[in-house]
Structure 1
Amino acid sequence: MEPTIEGQESPGRKTQGTEPLQGASGLTSQEAARRLREQGPNEIRRAEARSPVRQFLAQFNSPMIWLLLGACILSGFIGELADAVAIGTIVFFNALVGFFQEYRAERAVLALRSMTAPRARVLRDGRSRLVPAAQVVSGDVLVLEAGDVVAADARLLEAHSLATNEAPLTGESTPVEKHAVPVAPEAPLAERHDCVFLGTAVTGGTGRAEVIATGMRTELGRIAHLLESAEESATPLQVRLAGVSRMLVFLCLGLVAVVFVLGLLHGQPWLVVLLSATSLAVAAVPEGLPAVVTIALAIGVQRMAGRNVLVRKLPAVETLGSASVICTDKTGTLTTGQMTVRELWGQDGPALLFAAAACCDAELGEEGRTGTGDPTEVALLLAAAERGIRREAIERERPRRAVLPFDSDRKRMSVLRADGVLYVKGAVDVLLPRCGSGTQGALSANEDMARRGLRVLAVATGHDTDEEELRLLGLVGLADPPRTDAIDAIAAARGAGVRTVMLTGDHPITAQAIAREMGILHAGEDPSLAVHARVTAEDKLKIVRDWKARGEVVAMTGDGVNDAPALREAHIGIAMGLTGTEVTREAADMILTDDRYSSIVAAVQEGRGIFENIRKTLVYLLAGNSGELALMLGASVAGLPAPLLPLHLLWINLVTDGLPALALVMDPTDKDVLEHPPRRLEEPMLGRSQWRAVLFTGALMATVGLTTFIWTYHSRGLESARSLTFLMVIFSELFRAFAARSQTRLFWEVGAFTNLRLLGVVGVSTVVQVAIHYFPATQTLFRLEPFSWRECALAMLLGLIPVSAVELSKLAHRFPRRAPALTD
């Protein structure tokens, strides 16, 4: 091959203006216009987005919302307008929040349009012309050089040291060398070296290619089709809340039936009985739950933002806490995404790196930490710069005399400099046969490096432009290194019962080596479950679906276009904020602002804490409601008047359910949440222990309340009995909020001052409740009688009975039960 002499015109340089070019003449303007009419514009089709009205109405498609709407209608029917307005406002607020969170969630396919080149250089009428990329058609000849974004899928007609960055499509971490030698059509995408693809970038060299597909018929368009077909799953929290809602529907219907029958048996008018039963059914619904869930998730959004995680969809906050499998892209997520010199073999490092730097076209920036050009050459220059070797100094002191450029056939590059030395770098199998002495041990060193996933280059020197008699200086092992924090994060995830699965476009040997280094793949484990190499967009989608079919809660991370369909399909999609494409960011539920895998594990911790806060708040709400219902139902069974009026029930729900529940859901995350395995997808929102707590606490409160009502009713009359019972129930539920913070730890063990909001809410609510018993206006409104301070203290002591019993039950569970004695 003839060397290129410095200063003369490069043979592959793009011709400017409209001067005739040698070679293929491309299409005529008339033929291009005809094909454009037939094929349509070279664009990624817009997804048919839902209208804002449809998106807003979709927020009401939830069993809990249906239940609340039914309660709202019933409240209006029985004349409880205040209750109806309160419930309706809550429902509308939640729908509004959900609408704004999801308004932009379906723009992923639209974002693909930004990946296409706005203009392209093609041959038309035998001349090079710049045309809008949308007007490129099949049969056009693209003229490519470094820095171009490929405007369509095309088969190469000629290539001169051409390389493209296909990481967005394939996940391949290094630029792909291209050549015009035909490859089998059925070859995997990552191995189609005779083609270039829409949306990829030319990193070096020049070439010409004939367009074979445009728009939605390209590989990028195929991914757009996959993105449209991927289904967004209901989050585990949504599934679990739907189960609770269905249970409450049956409970309310059963309650209405029981109270209605009992009322008729006691000889009460059927309409009065129906209204009373309906009022109780409305009271059974924890109308504050949607607001509690929304606020809990919103707080999670704020906490995760402080840990470098940007949440785009509220339910995703809790979903990540349920994740049992994290499928993650390698390049840019687990690794730095930048080639780095990892190992040297042969002569001393400075001499070896000097020769490598003398044979590079890449350039470093002024700060010496980044560079432009081929990533492998940038890595060589960075390693040389760390040892004080700068390419600028080499060029100044030993200018180039000739260059034998790299191409896919030669697999080497040579530079002759003014000192008469020929500096050569290239593939090991190409350079070693051209080297005489000094190659002993090089083959085994090369095999060892390759087995550990390193990309190996040989560096040699010679004289003049003779590449046949060289002297081997050594080998350079390069790799995209793991992020140091990712190794610790993967170990933490494993400790939390979360499996990490690596997906990459790299070679299987490289992939497995990195997986072992990072702790993803351990000795004796099946590599096919932990590592997937040479994966395409379809493969990633299938892998996510397979894990979902196994009942796992799947999170998927990625940064390239080929990750977007799998991100959409997973229970939760996580995009890289720094290196990720706009496509992946729009398809994702959350975005890592620092691209660190460790941030995912931190978000898992927050997500688990949020679920626990929501669950204990739900237990608190249901226990209070069940206690109120049991109190009212017990009085009805005993043939007594209602211990509480409908307005009392509404006030109780406002004062003891709403505000304390909001304070409970803001509890700090327990430090040990990552020590437990993730929740299974089929696990209900409330397990047996939670339901036992609901029934036990509700029964305690109802027993104390009914006893208080009966005793006062027979001693002081109905109004006094209702007033004291009302006060006792309020105190009971307020104090119970402290015990609800943990199902196993005592109040002082959790820490009285770790949730100052709850202390404030209970304190203020207690003062307000006592006050309404002494103001004439509120006495009339609630039909209350004033009490002495001694009677208020009695109500407070009675209210402490349920919470004290709950705390004592926690202590009782700490002592192991004794086995029965064995007798002869």
Structure 2
Amino acid sequence: MVLVINALIGTIQEGKAAGSLAALQTMIGHSAPVRRGGAVSVIDTRDIVVGDRVELESGMAVPADIRLSQTTMLRVDQSAFTGESIPVPKDDGATLLERTSPGDRTTMLLAGTMVAEGRGSGIVVATAGDTALGAIDASLRDAKATPPPLVVRLDRLARQISIAAIALIVPFAIVLLMQGRPGDQILLLAVALAVSAIPEGLSIAVTVALAAGTRRMAARNVIVRSLPAVEGLGACTIIASDKTGTLTRNILSAERVLLTDGQDIRRADWPAHANALAAIRYAAALCNEASTGPDGVAVGDTVDVALLGFADGGGIDLQALRAIVRVAALPYEPVRKFATVVVDTPQGRRLFAKGALETIQTMCRPIDAALTTRALAMAEAGYRIIAVAASDGSTAVDATAPGALVLLGWIGLIDPVRTEVPAAIALCAAAGVGVRMVTGDHPATALTIARGLGLAVRKDQVVTGTQMRELAGENLALSRMVLAGRVFARIEPVQKLEIVRILSASGELVAVTGDGVNDAPALQAAHIGVAMGLAGTDVARGAADLVLADDNFASIVAGIEEGRVTYANVRRIVIILLATGMAEIGMFLGAVAFGLPMPLTAVQLLWLNLVTNGAQDVMLGFGRGEGDELSQPPRRPDEPILDRSAIMLMIPPALVMTGFALFLVQALHRDGHPLAEIQNAVLLMTVLFQNVYVLCMRSERRSILREPILSNPWLLLGIAVAITLQLAAMFWPPLGSILGTGPVSGRTLWFCLGATVSTVVVTEATKRAVAGVRREHPVRSSA
């Protein structure tokens, strides 16, 4: 079974890597305009070489890494690389520090990014594998997928079972040989022990449990691309989450307003300050190029859309404002850093302006320097600050004249936190799962978002890409810094991969989320990669094990819960199969030790393990959990399936089954019953024991008396099928002749029914003992 699962995972991982690489190649487009010898011609991107001059225009995919030589209002969407939702202005004349991160290099364009607006030209400095995109390509090829925890545990379990079976069968056969037993009898007994020791139905039951978990996850917006990953998400101890679109809404939104009278008004308090905000909302709506489509959704520049939403939320009649005559308008340009509009209002002709803080304030009458300091502090906290001003109607409309305008205030824009995410992060903490934010965004912006989420409060909890580069080669110091970090900002793709490796090396089971090209290597290298289904790139989805249908971090928490339910189901299946196998082995060893006839035939053993027991075990995979999965700590990464509590839950019931079976064999043999009748009675007793034990083990912690009878209707169906099949074996001659079964006496039937009650008593007592062990040995938490 483990070999099959490993082969399946290998195939899936190879397919994921190939799919990611193919998607990566599509990002650079097929052709681009290149100037050679003074003439511009459109050529295939594969023919572009270093030194070519590429002409850039809006909507174009950047075909190579380019150093800009000329720009006109050029803005580039770098979200696939950095996670920033706002197109970044580019300037060929900017001066940069030596170690400026790729996302902040305003004089450079990266292959695979998109020109959002404006135009420009530049010289190609890297192509194909030498580009930043090529580095990601190489990382994808080199990244080794970490096997999901369940595969590791099942592999370990398979080795343990194999060693135990060999260690049991070989000495047993030698003893029988020394006793002078016939060779055919020894072979038969060896086969019987092998059949008992190796749970033949495990592979089918585990597959069904994982498939059932897949369906439950899909119902909660988690799409599974790799079957073993169903359980893996529930085993994770740390989630390294992307910021944009996962923790935040991936839209620019006005969240804070600082007015010139000193009022600092957060979004939640806007309704109570509607009058105070009216003037700045009016100006933000008029000096605005965004428009509202037929569906009521605003379209246009992201800043204008955010300001329009701010105005609309205050009850401003946007349709009435559109009817106001616009006498003149000066659109925003990065070089100018402001925009103006002149309109005729009932109060006269007025000018409204918006733009960068320092630019707008030079046009306005002097204000208290303390207010400017507060506005700058907002910018340092990660907000994009838009200053808004207006003429008062008493002066000539000339925006360039110092003091011509009256400053109305500053609007703070930011990509807001998803409303459901703070509660989801709190659930992660309760479940013992730590959350780390990993983003390409600015450190100040990342810290502001982290504070809103409760992930970090201090600047020293933020690790930047620059800090990681400075410690390159100092492995110990780098590991300490990464392990202490809560927020990682301005992180490059190779650094995100390094973060995953360091966390994994420290013993954490890491789940990584991402949507961009920059996330693909880390998604592939993590224990569990989680991509976004709506905003995610094909590259990210191709590298992931799971895909979120709604791009919502809260869905990851739902996936953790379902993953833990799935693992609990698999674990119970293993416990039940091995416990019944131990009981069967005990019957044979006891029979040999006490000189009793063999309790079962090899065919009857196969019937038990594959048919009657198989019908129940498969249905265990449909269990829905105990409801408190998210209040339990995660399993230790090195915890085997058969830990101390599992062994405690197995051995006592197995001993009870063995003891009663041997007593029945001895009693019937003493009374002179034929061997076939003895084996028939033992088979019936074992089937009844199995059914009762399965009912007891629907929960490892709750009493059978407290577990709702319909908690798993499929299991009841499985038990009914198992009993029906056994009755058919007893009363349908064609099947009975194959299995050597038939009806039993009333006395034997009542003994078998009464004996099964002992399973309930012993299992319930064992659960209490296990609860005490768990209290004495709690599991650590990474939260």
Q: Same fold (TM over 0.5)?
A: yes
In 2, Cα distance between equivalents of 1:98 and 1:429: 56
Q: 1:781 aligns with which of 738, 757, 767?
A: 738
In structure 2, the gaps of 5 or more residues are 261-275, 392-396, 464-484, 774-783
- CA spacing shift, 1:364–1:132, aligned 2, 3 Å: farther
1:10 alignment partner in structure 2? none
2:354 alignment partner, one of 421, 425, 449: 425
Does the aligned pair in 2 maintain the 1:381–1:390 contact within 8 Å? no
How far has the Cα of 1:325 moved from its partner?
0.4
Note if contact 2:56-2:119 (Cα within 8 Å) is conserved in structure 1.
Answer: yes
Query: Quick one: which amino acid aligns to residue 220 of structure 1?
Result: L
SS at match of 1:604: helix
User: TM-score, normalized by length of structure 2?
Assistant: 0.87
For residue 138 of structure 1, what is the aligned residue in structure 2? 50
Count of residues in Structure 1 that have an aligned counterpart in Structure 2: 725
Residue 105 of structure 1 corresponds to which residue in structure 2? 16
Work out whether 1:468 is the aligned partner of 2:396: no
Q: What CA deviation, in whole Å up to 9, does each residue of 1:129-167 have, x standing for no partner?
A: 333433333333222233222222211111112111111
Q: Which residue of 2 aligns with 1:16?
A: none
In structure 1, distance between residues paired with 2:643 and 2:636: 12
Structure 1 residues 791 and 700, CA gap change in structure 2 (3 angstroms): closer
Evaluate the alpha carbon distance shift between residue 392 and residue 141 of structure 1 in structure 2; reply closer, same or farther with a 3 A threshold.
farther
Per the alignment, in what secondary structure is the counterpart of residue 332 of structure 1?
A: coil
- 1:400 and 1:615 map into 2 onto residues whose CA distance is 74
For residues 701-759 of structure 1, give each alpha carbon's deviation from its aligned partner in whole angstroms, at most 9, with x where no partner exists: 11110110011012123222222112111211122110121233221211112122222
Q: 1:461 to 1:309 in 2, by over 3 A?
A: same
Distance 1:96 1:193, change over 3 A: closer
> Distance in 2 between the 1:187 and 1:272 partners?
78
Q: How does 1:611-626 map to 2 (within 5 A)?
A: 611-626=567-582
Alignment CA distance shift 1:779-1:354 (3 Å): closer
Give 1:428 shift: 1.4
Q: Could you tell me which residue of structure 1 aligns to residue 324 of structure 2?
A: 397
> Which residue of structure 2 lines up, in the alignment, with residue 199 of structure 1?
112
- In 1: Cα distance, 2:419 partner to 2:736 partner: 66
Letter in 1 for 2:453: M
In 1: Cα distance, 2:20 partner to 2:737 partner: 58
Matched, 1:586 2:542: yes
Cα deviation, 1:788-811, whole Å, max 9, x if unaligned, reads: 344333322233333343234446
Map Cα deviations across residues 160-205 of structure 1 (whole Å, 9 max, x no partner).
1211111111122322110111535642101110111222122222
RMSD of equivalent CA atoms: 2.6
Residues 165, 342 of structure 1: CA spacing in aligned structure 2 closer, same or farther, 3 A cutoff?
same
Query: Aligned partners of 1:381, 1:766: CA distance in 2, in Å?
Result: 68
Matching residue of 1:675? 631
**Paired residue for 1:21?**
none
- Report the Cα offset of residue 113 of structure 1: 1.8
In the alignment, the residues of structure 2 paired with residue 158 and residue 431 of structure 1 have an alpha-carbon distance, to the nearest angstrom, of 26
Query: Counterpart in 2 of 1:486?
Result: 421
User: In percent, how many aligned pairs have the same letter?
Assistant: 35
Classify 1:609/1:479 alpha carbon distance in 2 versus 1 (closer, same or farther; 3 Å): same
Work out which of the residue numbers 202, 205, 213 in structure 2 matches 1:300: 213
User: 347, 354, 368: which one pairs with 2:282?
Assistant: 354
Q: Give the drift of 1:393.
A: 6.2
Relative to structure 1, is the Cα distance of residues 793 and 272 closer, same or farther in structure 2, using a 3 angstrom cutoff?
A: closer
Q: TM-score, normalised by structure 1?
A: 0.83
Cα distance in 2, alignment partners of residues 149 and 645 from structure 1: 71
Cα distance per residue 1:184-240 (max 9 Å; x no partner): 564210111011122212222221222222222221111111111211001111111
How many angstroms apart in 2 are the aligned matches of 1:745 and 1:336? 40
8 Å contact kept, 1:460–1:470? no
Where 2:287 maps in the other structure, the secondary structure is coil
Aligned residue in 1 for 2:313 = 386
CA distance in 1, matches of 2:493, 2:772: 55
The CA deviation at 1:783 is 2.5
In 1, Cα distance between equivalents of 2:61 and 2:496: 25
Which residue type is aligned with residue 660 of structure 2?
V
Are 1:245 and 2:158 matched, yes or no?
yes
Q: Answer whether contact 1:266 1:639 (CA < 8 A) is retained.
A: no
Q: Aligned with 2:16: secondary structure?
A: coil
Map of 1:331 onto structure 2 = 244
CA contact (8 A) 2:188 2:602 kept: no
CA distance in structure 2 between the aligned counterparts of 1:814 and 1:549, rounded to whole angstroms: 31
| Alpha-carbon distance, 1:766 to partner | 1.8
Report matched runs for 1:67-78 at 5 Å: none
On the 8 A contact 1:322/1:553 being kept in 2, the answer is yes
**Partner amino acid for 1:173?**
S
Paired with 1:775 and 1:421, the residues of 2 have a C-alpha distance of: 97
Following TM superposition, by how much is the alpha carbon of 1:395 offset from its aligned partner in structure 2, in angstroms?
6.3
1:456 aligns with 2:380: no
Q: Letter of the aligned partner of 2:674 in structure 1?
A: G
Q: Which residue of 1 aligns with 2:434?
A: 499
Contact 2:258 2:375 (C-alpha < 8 Å) held by counterparts: no
Residues 395 and 720 of structure 1, relative CA distance in 2, 3 Å threshold: closer
Q: Which amino acid aligns with 1:729?
A: T
Asked if 1:728 is matched to 2:685, the reply is yes
User: 2:426 & 2:457 partners in 1: Cα distance?
Assistant: 11
Q: Distance in 2 between matches of 1:209 and 1:392?
A: 43
Q: Matched residues in 2 for 1:164 and 1:417: separation?
A: 32
Question: Which residue matches 2:473?
Answer: none
AA of the residue aligned to 1:164: V
Q: Does residue 1:445 correspond to 2:393, yes or no?
A: no
Structure 2 CA distance for partners of 1:548 and 1:813, relative to 1, 3 Å? closer
Alignment of 1:363-382 (within 5 A): 363-373=291-301, 375-382=302-309
**Contact 1:340–1:478 under 8 Å retained in 2:** yes
Residue in structure 1 matched with residue 472 of structure 2 by the alignment: none
In 2, Cα distance between the equivalents of 1:369 and 1:450? Answer: 28
Unaligned runs of 5+ in 1: 1-61, 66-90, 817-824
Check 1:266–1:126 CA distance in 2 against 1; reply closer, same or farther (3 A cut).
same
User: Does structure 1 residue 227 correspond to structure 2 residue 140?
Assistant: yes
Q: Shift in Å at residue 427 of structure 1?
A: 1.9
What is the CA–CA distance in structure 1 between the aligned matches of 2:650 and 2:390, rounded to whole Å? 80
Select which of 435, 439, 443 maps to 2:364: 435
CA separation in 1, counterparts of 2:277 and 2:703? 63
